[in-house]
Amino acid sequence: MADAMAHSPTDSPLGLSADSWPRPAAAGARCAVTPLTGLRHGLRSVPLRWVLDRLPTPRRNPFACGYLLVLAGTTVFAQVASPDLVHQLQTMSSTDGHHLLRTPLRSLLMSGLWVAGPVWMPYLWAFAFTVAPLERRVGSLRAAGVFAAGHVVGTLLSQGVVAVAVATGQVGPGILDELDIGVSYGVLASLGAVAGLLPPRGRYLALGGAVLLVAHQIVGDQDLITAIGHPTALLTGVALWGSLRRAGRPGRGSGGAVWRVVRRVARPA
């Protein structure tokens, strides 16, 4: 009876022999590859990494991230503040014909601090696919210059056409007081500029998408200011291709330099 109940040293308490126990894989042995293994690896390494590498971050995109933060602040303010106060501030910021004649610098500067509408999220994606890649390629200062050029040129030309249309009786004088705020001109100029830094196939795709976007906005809005300002801003970015290409690719160094200055200033003594 004792012999029947005895276990050999190589048996498990459950009655399994040592030969049936799972053994660790030998060093250098390859694990079994299933169809899902490659899929998991691809999801981790390719699409996700591609997206993460292109998301704006304060280190890589100080201009884009700072601007988005300002737009988020004014958007929240417009939602929680008194409607009369918001209307007064936005009217002061408007780049309509009358305000451009009276306070041109204030209008051009402050009109770019608001989004056209109550929703901020679309501008996150707009900056992520236009301003941020441009900033990574040419640097923060040049990206800001392209954005400002599109904003100023698009505004001045569109309002100039509006003034001529009013003077010739093509439209009523009330259009000179229509609220004109937002950052669409700067975004479109950035899109036009970054297209010139892409390979030929990507360049044509980006420009084709930009033209379709502008055409859709013109048809949908039926607005003279949009019909002139949006194509003008896009062409402003295209006109800067030569100077941006000559600038090379100092984007990371320029953005990193700005970030290093910010950290140095913020560092406690």
**The dihedral formed by the CA atoms of 181, 183, 184 and 185, expressed in degrees to the nearest 10:** 90
Q: What are phi and psi of 17, to 5 degrees?
A: -75, 160
The token pair that represents 225 in the structure block: 């200011």
What is the per-residue burial (b if ≥16 Cβ within 10 Å, else e) of 85-120? ebeebbeebbbbbebbeeeeeebbebbbbbbeeeeb
Residues β-bridged to residue 208: none
The token pair that represents 206 in the structure block: 């980006």
Q: What are phi and psi of 112, to 5 degrees?
A: -85, 5
pLDDT for res 47:
67
pLDDT for res 269:
43
Q: How confident is the model at residue 19 (pLDDT cuts 50, 70, 90)?
A: low
> What whole-number distance in Å separates Cα of residue 164 and Cα of residue 17?
97
Mean pLDDT for 229-243 is 96
Contacts with 147 (C-beta within 8 Å, 6 or more apart), sequence order: 63, 67, 131, 183, 186, 187, 189, 190
Please state, rounded to an integer, the average pLDDT across all residues of the chain.
81
Query: Could you tell me if 53 and 47 are in contact, meaning their C-beta atoms sit under 8 angstroms apart?
Result: no
Return the closest-CA partner of residue 197 out of 155, 134, 254.
134
More confident residue, 247 or 165: 165
User: Tokens 């970030």 belong to which residue?
Assistant: 259
Return the closest-CA partner of residue 259 out of 56, 100, 110, 95.
56
More confident residue, 20 or 104: 104
pLDDT at 74 over 80: yes
Mean pLDDT for 58-84 is 95
pLDDT for res 2:
47
Assign 17 to helix, strand or coil: strand
Query: Could you tell me if 158 and 225 are in contact, meaning their C-beta atoms sit under 8 angstroms apart?
Result: yes
- How do residues 173-212 score in pLDDT, each as one tens digit? 999 999 999 999 999 999 999 999 999 999 999 999 999 9
Query: Could you tell me if 189 and 149 are in contact, meaning their C-beta atoms sit under 8 angstroms apart?
Result: yes
> What whole-number distance in Å separates Cα of residue 94 and Cα of residue 182?
9
Number of C-alpha atoms within 13 angstroms, CB side, residue 258? 23
